[in-house]
Amino acid sequence: MRKALDSLYLLGGVLGGIALAAIAAIIIAQVVGRQFGLTVLGADDLTAFSVAASATLPLAYAFRLGAHIRVDLIIGRLKGSSRLIMESIALILTAGLTLFFAYSMADLAFDSFQFEDVAQGSVAWKLWVPQALCAFGAALFAVCLLDDLAAHLTGGTPSYRNAAEMNALDRAGQEL
């Protein structure tokens, strides 16, 4: 179970990386194509879709590595049970919110599918495909918050805390 979830989050991260590289690749194709008088049809919309995919698919992956920021001023100073309670509140609120977020994105994709919405650019891309990818990313995010909520309530350490202990600078130092 643990392994399956972790590889699912990593899959989101890898897909996000591919989406980011795709943004670069599409624009390079556009620029090079222009030199030879060719236009890459629908490229602007594809770029926009890739941006959306690169923003949503790795949400869970980034969260577990402690990349998302929060205000640490109060929660960082609390100790003991008050800390546990506050962490629980934050996790319950966000887990509920991300479930709704995933539902909204899925609803959007479903609407686009039902009404056969297409992009307005030079190629009429079907909108539900990229929207479904975003919904998948949002769903992963919700699963990941529920996962951490469960870990926290059963007395474990949430993933982002483990990651935060090795803070950004240490990581940078190690990499160099």
Q: Which positions lie near another protein, rule CB under 8 A?
A: 13, 16-17, 20-21, 23-24, 27-28, 30-31, 44-45, 47-52, 54-56, 58-59, 61-63, 65, 67-75, 86-87, 89-90, 93-94, 97-98, 100-101, 103-105, 107-108, 111, 130-131, 134, 167, 169, 172, 175-176
- Token pair, residue 148, equals 């951490």
Q: Considering the complex, state which of residue 63 and residue 136 has its C-beta at the smaller distance from another protein.
A: 63
Indicate the helix (H) or strand (E) that contains 141. Answer: helix 128-153
Contacts of 29 (CB under 8 A, 6+ apart): 40, 43
By C-alpha distance, which of 142, 48, 54, 147 is closest to 101? 142
Q: How far is the CB of 2 from another protein (least distance, A)?
A: 21
Q: 105 and 131 in contact (C-beta within 8 Å)?
A: yes
Question: Smallest distance, Å, CB 36 to another protein?
Answer: 16
* Nearer residue to another protein within complex by CB, 134 or 143: 134
Residue 74 or 150: the one with the smaller Cβ distance to another protein is: 74
d(CA 98, CA 121): 31
* Whole-angstrom distance, CA of residue 125 vs CA of residue 48: 12
> Minimum distance from CB of 152 to another protein (Å)?
12
- Residue number with CB closer to another protein (108 or 151): 108
Residues 6 or more apart in contact with residue 88 via CB below 8 angstroms: 149, 152, 153
Instruction: Provide the H-helix boundaries in 43-79.
Output: 43-56, 59-64
Least separation, in Å, of the C-beta of 145 and another protein? 9
C-beta of 34 vs 156, nearer to another protein: 34
Tell me the closest approach of the beta carbon of residue 41 to another protein, in angstroms.
15
